[in-house]
Amino acid sequence: MTSEERLRYAATVTGFMPVEEGLALYELARSLPVGATLLEIGAWCGRSSVFLGAGAAERDGVLFSLDHHHGSEENQQGWDYFDPVLVDPHDGRLNTLPVWQHTIAEAALEAVVIGLVGESTLVGSRLHLSFDLVFIDGGHGTEPAWNDYHTWAPRVRPGGVLAIHDVFENPLDGGRPPYEIYLRALEEGFSLRSVCGSLRVLERLA
């Protein structure tokens, strides 16, 4: 499958990634060194996984895609971003893993995108890798966002990239935690490389 086909497909996948920002992720992934190792936290149904995976595939890279696949707080019943189609009738919980697997297979990315199914900090406590790119788009509440930052930002290798989604300077546009961790990253050795919508791309100085 060509990158163009993958990007067209990504735009049809259920998810929260605007196409323009998804294309920015794709460009970012394909700008990394050959053989790069990427990590995304927050996969949902695989929309961002395909944008990043399409870029990684061009560079013989690998994307680890981490999610417990039971949704964030705002995805649960009674909240704004609840989708009843994604509830597993056997236990009544959200489960996006089957859809995510289908997405990765449809995009012919099974040799590029590796699913890590588990809670972010638990995975981080045992998985000791460094990454050329870390993309944070997991839980957007204070606790999960800071946990993701503390767990994964230190794993960006020198010269590597940290991307954060849903960064809103104006509180009227969205929640604070992604913006707060973005500010902390700027204080802790990252510099701003690019902006696209609510996506902030930072670089760790080599």
Ligand X SMILES: C[S@@+](CC[C@H](N)C(=O)[O-])C[C@H]1O[C@@H](n2cnc3c(N)ncnc32)[C@H](O)[C@@H]1O
Q: How far apart are CA 179 and CA 100, in angstroms?
A: 27
**Do residues 200 and 190 touch, judged by C-beta distance below 8 A?**
no
Is there a catalytic annotation at residue 70? no
Work out the widest C-alpha separation in the chain, in whole angstroms.
49
Within 8 A by CB and 6+ apart from 132, the residues are: 32, 33, 36, 37, 38, 61, 157, 160, 161
178 is an interface residue for ligand X by CB under 6 A: no
Stretch that binds ligand X, among 38-46, 102-110, 124-132, 188-196 (CB under 6 A): 38-46
Please select the residue that binds ligand X; options are 9, 15, 54, 132, rule is CB under 6 A.
15
Count the Cβ atoms, other than its own, within 10 Å of residue 61.
23
The nearer residue to ligand X, 61 or 115, going by C-beta atoms, is 115
Please select the residue that binds ligand X; options are 6, 59, 68, 204, rule is CB under 6 A.
68
Window 119-158: contact mask with ligand X (x via CB under 6 A): xx----------------xxx----x--------------
Q: How far apart are CA 52 and CA 30, in angstroms?
A: 8
**Do residues 3 and 54 touch, judged by C-beta distance below 8 A?**
yes
Count the Cβ atoms, other than its own, within 10 Å of residue 158.
10
Stretch that binds ligand X, among 41-49, 104-112, 175-183, 193-201 (CB under 6 A): 41-49
Active site residue: 68, 69, 102, 140, which one? 140
Residues taking part in catalysis: 140
Q: Binding residues for ligand X, per CB under 6 A? A: 15-17, 42-44, 47-48, 67-72, 96, 119-120, 137-139, 144
